[in-house]
Amino acid sequence: VGCWGGGAATMASPGPSNANGGSSPPAAHEYVLSQTLASDGSPVRSVTTIPTGPPTSSFAGSPTCADGYQLLTGSYDGVLTSHTLAAADGYAVARTAVQPNSEGGRHPHYVGALLPIPAAAEFGEPLAGGYITGCRDGIVRVFGPDHAPVKELRGHENNVSSLAWLELAPSGGGDTAAAAGAVPPLLLSGSWDGSARIWNVATGSCLATLGEHENGVEVVGLPPVPVSPSSGGDSAAAAGSATGGLVGRLATTSAGIAQGNVISNHRVRIFSVHLPTLTSPVATTAALRTVSNDHAGPIRSVAYDAATDSILTASNDGTVKIRDGTTAESHTTLPHPATFSGSGDGQPPMLLDVACLGGGRYACAAEDGTCVIWHTQDTTNHGGGGEPQTLDHPGSVWTVRSLPNGDIATGCQDGYVRIYTAAGNAARCAPPEEVAALAAAVAASRTSKAQGPSAEEVAALPKWEMCALTQGRSE
């Protein structure tokens, strides 16, 4: 990512898509289908992983477990599904449990965000190794590793679309527990109510609310940057850390405000956070940076790449922007291949999610049924142009996530989770008939879209005269 000098860069236009097919076999580093997993049949809106055995990593990424992991999904119908993948069996699915805890585990609406709880000593039972959900009803729910509900965090007034961890660090003296290294992270939540909230998961209390955002808010934690008043750094950050205690940073994005037919004021913001002690009931925040309107549409997702200290944002304008982790200024734009192919009447698809895969690789999920992967540090792949790889799906791809073993998972509108692995992992590649079934489903979906609804489908729609009494299902 950092190899392009000068101003902002735009990656080259792509060649043909490669989704396990094509006239030539995929390169060893390209992704191919590995497994197709079903849950309750409704669209898969969120995906995460939790441990099945002793964890070997902290909250900074997906838990890495020697025995395998659980792939957890949340659906449009509010159902959670757990797929247990065993390392001993080549990460094949050993067990699937739909609604693994039927006592209180069902959500009243779709689950749009999932986040694993660090399996660290600071959290302890019953939280460590569990997970957190964000729901359309505005409630954040906390579950233990046995899928039992532990608590609810209430305060948002609309869909909770984003969850992340906020890392804390001691700032010049202050809390002795922090100095000893036992600093549990705080929880971040972003909502369609125009706010982000900071939570202490252990106590269930909201420590701060970052309001006055422009509609939908996405959140991501950044590495803490303690700045003392004498360091010459940002004055707001210095003011927050002057009294010691704990400090952290986060980034938020907003969807913008509709003004006529134009949506504007979609922004990326960076905040500092100061917590006097681990048990403080209130955290103070300060806005450090704001970048406005450098996308051409609402921002739908945000991620952070620790290896390059970069913030990534995905937008309805069909692009992912790579940003400086301190200033939030964009220096590289990754356009969806449809921008160059002319498909969709020249209108690129909306990007619904973005994920960091490591090694300069980034993935986005798009509403046109594609998952696009950019290898930004490898300009020799795909014919020497550094073009992205496109994985085709039969419906909108709502989410994409990196898995602990290097694979990736996508959640699709058709109700399936698909796992993709590097082509070099021959033992984990799907059999030809499964690949062919996916290709056939993609072709059928595209044919149906091109032809439009059938006469029978049109006849089944509500009559126009009843439109005012018909509850819409679209968000």
Query: What is the per-residue pLDDT across 166-209, written as a single tens digit (0 to 9) for each?
Result: 999 987 644 444 444 568 899 999 999 999 999 999 999 999 99
Provide mean pLDDT across the span 10-39: 69
- Quote the tokens at residue 22: 């094509």
pLDDT surpassing 70 at residue 247: yes
Reported confidence tier of residue 357, pLDDT bands at 50, 70, 90: very high
What pLDDT sits at residue 24?
61
SS (H, E, C) 335-366: ECCHHHHCCHHHCCCCEEEEEEEECCEEEEEE
Reported confidence tier of residue 232, pLDDT bands at 50, 70, 90: very low
Lowest mean pLDDT among 10-19, 77-86, 283-292: 10-19
Provide mean pLDDT across the span 275-283: 91
Reported confidence tier of residue 399, pLDDT bands at 50, 70, 90: very high
pLDDT surpassing 70 at residue 384: no
User: Which amino acid, one-letter code, is at 197?
Assistant: R
Reported confidence tier of residue 386, pLDDT bands at 50, 70, 90: low
- Quote the tokens at residue 409: 């998972």
Lowest mean pLDDT among 264-278, 307-321, 398-412, 449-463: 449-463
Euclidean distance between CA atoms 39 and 425, whole angstroms: 25
What pLDDT sits at residue 66?
61
What pLDDT sits at residue 468?
80
What pLDDT sits at residue 88?
79
CB 83 within 8 A of CB 37: yes
Could you tell me what percent of the chain has a pLDDT over 90? 62
pLDDT surpassing 60 at residue 144: yes
What pLDDT sits at residue 340?
66
372 CB-near residues (< 8 Å, 6+ apart)? 336, 337, 363, 364, 366, 388, 389, 390, 391
pLDDT digits (tens, 9 = 90+) for 404-456: 999 999 999 999 999 999 999 999 999 999 999 999 999 999 998 888 888 88
What pLDDT sits at residue 238?
38
What pLDDT sits at residue 231?
38
Reported confidence tier of residue 469, pLDDT bands at 50, 70, 90: confident
- Kind of pairing, strands 9-10 and 330-335? parallel
Provide mean pLDDT across the span 270-296: 94
Q: Average per-residue pLDDT in the chain?
A: 84
Euclidean distance between CA atoms 360 and 5, whole angstroms: 16
What pLDDT sits at residue 119?
74
CB-based burial, 27-54: b 16+ in 10 Å, e otherwise: beebbbbbbbbebbeebbbbbbbbbbee
Provide mean pLDDT across the span 1-20: 44
Most confident of 119-128, 369-378, 455-464: 369-378
Cis peptide leading into residue 126 (ω within 30°)? yes
Please give the distance of CA 143 from its chain centroid, rounded to a whole number: 19
User: Which amino acid, one-letter code, is at 219?
Assistant: V
Could you tell me what percent of the chain has a pLDDT over 70? 80
What pLDDT sits at residue 3?
33
Reported confidence tier of residue 225, pLDDT bands at 50, 70, 90: confident
pLDDT surpassing 70 at residue 465: yes
pLDDT surpassing 90 at residue 107: yes
Provide mean pLDDT across the span 233-240: 41
Half-sphere exposure at residue 171, Cβ-oriented, CA atoms within 13 angstroms: 29
Provide mean pLDDT across the span 120-135: 84
